Structure 1
Amino acid sequence: MSWRYAMVGQPMPLYGSPFADADGNVWLPSYRLAYPQEGSPYTVISSDGEWLGQVEAPPRFRILDVTGGLVLGVLRDEMDVENVVVYGLVGGPSLVR
């Protein structure tokens, strides 16, 4: 759990740190207070500025790299043990393992 004191006049971020995949698309993770580097969902924008959609990532999943329709990342289990996993992107709104 985390605490956040709202300050009047202080904006809350909508996204965490963006990153680019091998195709030049920009991935914007939704901002999360507890683990800001583990954003879900991710908004994907092409290098031309076209909105490509959103990708729902599993909870506690941090993306490391995206290329060729595959997503490499780290998945933390309930004991906070990190496992390297690869998911495939499909046409739907979620990642498939």
Structure 2
Amino acid sequence: MAGTSGDTIGWTPGREEYTTDILSAAPLFRKSSVLGTHGERIFVGSSDHMQIEELNTSGDTVRILRIPDYPLALTAEQVRAERDAHLDIPLPPGVSALPPYYVDAVEDMPSPETRPAYARMLVDPTGAIWLPPFRGMSEGGGPEPWLVLDPDGNWLGSVEIPEDFRVTDIGVDEILGIWTDELDVQHPQVRHLARG
């Protein structure tokens, strides 16, 4: 807090990358680590499972917060839809088709059996942990059900975030974010949060 440099607390996994001799890209349903803090509590998750590790300032695991049996299995149809979404991208002006090497690389990407558990993590001022379940490129649209764990690690349920609202911060009584209107204009917005 005084602005002096501390020491390394620990290491976390990064994010998955798919690399060939001619392409480096995000794989299908890419898993990525998340990090959050509250006071002297540090929260880390690899998104392999619906769980978060709580660490102390020495980097030791204090506890593991988990939602057991949370469904993460992917069907062949979901993987195919995600692969197709990676191929259905906007092309630059003057380009009529994706390069064959890119199409081949996407078709050769491994087919994951499970999805990442979550995409981000926010810890609110009360110490509650908010996790939006991961959604692939093919799964956009519709409201987002953010999962909430209370400061003791109990799963409280989920809060539905509207489709056109991107959460940037969560307070005690409000959720801050960006609302995008029908013309794609972004507006800062504060929404009331009723706890209880």
Smaller-chain TM-score bracket: 0.7 to 0.9
Larger gyration radius, structure 1 or structure 2: 2
Distance 1:14 1:79, change over 3 A: farther
Please list, as runs of the form range in 1=range in 2, the aligned pairs for 1:42-61 lying within 5 A after superposition: 42-61=146-165
Verify: 1:32 aligned to 2:135, yes or no.
yes
Equivalent residue letter for 1:32: R
Q: Give 1:51 shift.
A: 1.1
Give unpaired runs (5+ residues) of structure 2.
1-80, 84-108
Verify: 1:64 aligned to 2:142, yes or no.
no
Distance 1:68 1:9, change over 3 A: closer
Secondary structure in 1 aligned to 2:136?
A: coil
Secondary structure in 2 aligned to 1:71?
A: strand
Between Structure 1 and Structure 2, the one with more strand by share is 1
Equivalent residue letter for 1:12: R
**Partner deviation per Cα, 1:57-83 (whole Å, 9 max, x = no partner):** 110211111112111111112222111
Match of 2:121 among 5, 12, 18: 18
Q: Give 1:9 shift.
A: 4.1
Between Structure 1 and Structure 2, the one with more helix by share is 2
Measure, in 2, the Cα distance between the counterparts of 1:84 and 1:90. 20
Distance 1:13 1:52, change over 3 A: same
For the 8 Å contact 2:121–2:132, the answer to whether it is kept is: yes
- Calculate the TM-score normalised by the size of structure 1: 0.73
Stretch of structure 1 that moved more, 82-91 or 27-36? 27-36
Partner residue in 2 for 1:75: 179
Higher RCO, 1 vs 2 (CA within 8 Å, ≥6 residues apart):
1
Give unpaired runs (5+ residues) of structure 1.
93-97
Distance 1:9 1:65, change over 3 A: closer
Q: Which runs of 4+ in 1 moved over 4 A?
A: none
For the 8 Å contact 2:128–2:149, the answer to whether it is kept is: yes
RMSD: 2.6
